[in-house]
Amino acid sequence: MSAKLTILGSSGAIPAYGRFPTAQYLNIQNTHVVIDCGEGVQMQLMKYQIPIHKIDHIFISHLHGDHYLGLMGLLFSMHLHRRVNDLHLHSQKGLDEIILLQLKYSRSTLHYNIIFHSFNASEIQLIHEDSVMTVHTIPLIHKLSCAGFLFREKTKPRKINKEKLKEGMLLQHIALLKTGADVYDHEGKLLYLNDEYTLEPTPSCSYAYCSDTAWNEKMIEQIHGVDLLYHEATFMEDEKDKARETLHSTTAEAATIAKASEARKLLIGHFSARYRELEPLLQEARDIFIPTELAIEGNTYDLSA
């Protein structure tokens, strides 16, 4: 599994029925990322045996407490575990102030550096890129300025067709073939035609995390064809007025976005504390978009499945 998502918190606004506020953990080819940090996030990371020291990037969608109040505890625990690697924190302006103030009044100097990266949630921005993936913001509609995140795995190297491997083929030739290039000798004579020696790469995955948002059809084009779409579904359709008032979405709206964007799968979450049972929410979404699942704490979803 090259990309997998684990749900750490699925509750909206307040914890309810054992459900924690929003937090998720994404592992793409051993790049470890946390998305939103609701209260209790570090307890959840420990419970599901996720290596805290390997997390190098944290993305915070907006500054409502249920999406970041677990962050400070996690940052302090990283310090107490003697973390030394830089930690990249991607958020809107303001979170840097909130963190620095808490460090100031607790007279703490962390063993590691937090690198703050701020983004403008009102536009699509490339906010991170490394050798395995890119991350873009997804502008959302909410009471506070809020962004989702679109994670796209980069194209992987072509696979060598082992049946075609020849004696005398050098490692550098193989490396070149994996990039998709043909291999020539010093005189410019063709040695290996790429098509003959390689196979298509393993498909790359994509994940769209759409945190708190009202109905927002603008995102459809940007997230078109994603492997997995997480879309909040705070309310059922009969509470549509409440969704309008609080700038959240209903199950049917989440499913309609998934259908229109031709996502392969939909995960719904950020459930209101009014719902003890989640099965009715799932049914309502599945009436519109069959491949829908509930975001359940501790469950891991394979992006390539």
Give me the residues that bind Zn ion (CB under 5 A), please. 64, 212
How far apart CA 9 and CA 105 sit, in angstroms, is: 29
For the chain, strand residue ranges (E) read 3-9, 23-28, 31-37, 55-59, 87-91, 114-118, 126-129, 133-139, 147-153, 159-160, 183-184, 190-192, 198-199, 206-210, 228-232, 265-269, 292-294, 300-302
Residue closest to Zn ion (Cβ): 64
**Which CB, 232 or 293, lies closer to Zn ion?**
232
**What sign results for the dihedral spanned by CA atoms 79, 81, 86, 91?**
negative
**Which CB, 148 or 158, lies closer to Zn ion?**
148
Residues 99 and 72 sit within 8 Å (Cβ to Cβ) = yes
Judging by beta carbons within 10 Å of its beta carbon (0-12, 13-18, 19+), is residue 51 exposed, middle or buried?
exposed
**Which CB, 246 or 261, lies closer to Zn ion?**
246
How far apart CA 205 and CA 302 sit, in angstroms, is: 10
At its nearest, how many Å lie between Zn ion and the CB of residue 87?
A: 23
At its nearest, how many Å lie between Zn ion and the CB of residue 6?
A: 21
At its nearest, how many Å lie between Zn ion and the CB of residue 8?
A: 17
**Which CB, 206 or 250, lies closer to Zn ion?**
250
At its nearest, how many Å lie between Zn ion and the CB of residue 62?
A: 6
Q: Which of 36, 56, 66, 185 is catalytic?
A: 66
Q: Which amino acid, 203?
A: P
**Is residue 185 annotated as a catalytic residue, yes or no?**
no
Catalytic residues: 66
